[in-house]
Amino acid sequence: MKDRHAGVLIVDDLPFMRTAIRDILNEGGIPVAGEAENGLKCLEFYYRNPVALVLLDITMPVMDGIETLAKLKHLDRESQVIMCSAMGQDKYIIRSIQLGARDFIVKPFKPERIISAVRKAIELNV
């Protein structure tokens, strides 16, 4: 892969959720590299612009987060991904970790939780 962009790619099918996450990251001083509304767009973006971290929703149209995570890890084994979902079911958490997700954040989330998870993942990736 090419050099990674320092920012975070936000992947969620809901525009208001992408905006909320972007605002939280901006307030935390964490750069946002881009946004995608589904897994396919995420993979297209990442292929052109590898980023330090992907915040990836699980439930999305076109390609869900679990399939996207698997394909992203196939594209770049070293990609850093934090899963986000309203579904806090154990099977999604376990599958995400098996596929190589760094962390799992359950919605509704607290801004501090996102900031700390993102900072931790980016610091470990430096």
Return the pLDDT at 1.
47
Model pLDDT for residues 63-99, shown as the tens digit of each residue = 999 999 999 999 999 999 999 887 666 778 888 989 9
pTM of the model: 0.92
* Residue among 74, 65, 61, 76 nearest 10 (CA): 65
Instruction: Please give the domain boundaries of the chain with CATH numbers for all domains.
Output: 5-125 (3.40.50.2300)
pLDDT at 50 over 50: yes
The angle, 0 to 180 degrees and rounded to 10, between the axes of the packed helices 39-48 and 65-75 is 20
* Token pair recorded at residue 42: 């995420």
Model pLDDT for residues 10-43, shown as the tens digit of each residue = 999 999 999 999 999 999 999 999 999 999 999 9
Return the pLDDT at 109.
83
pLDDT at 125 over 60: no
Q: Which residue is associated with the tokens 């307030």?
A: 27
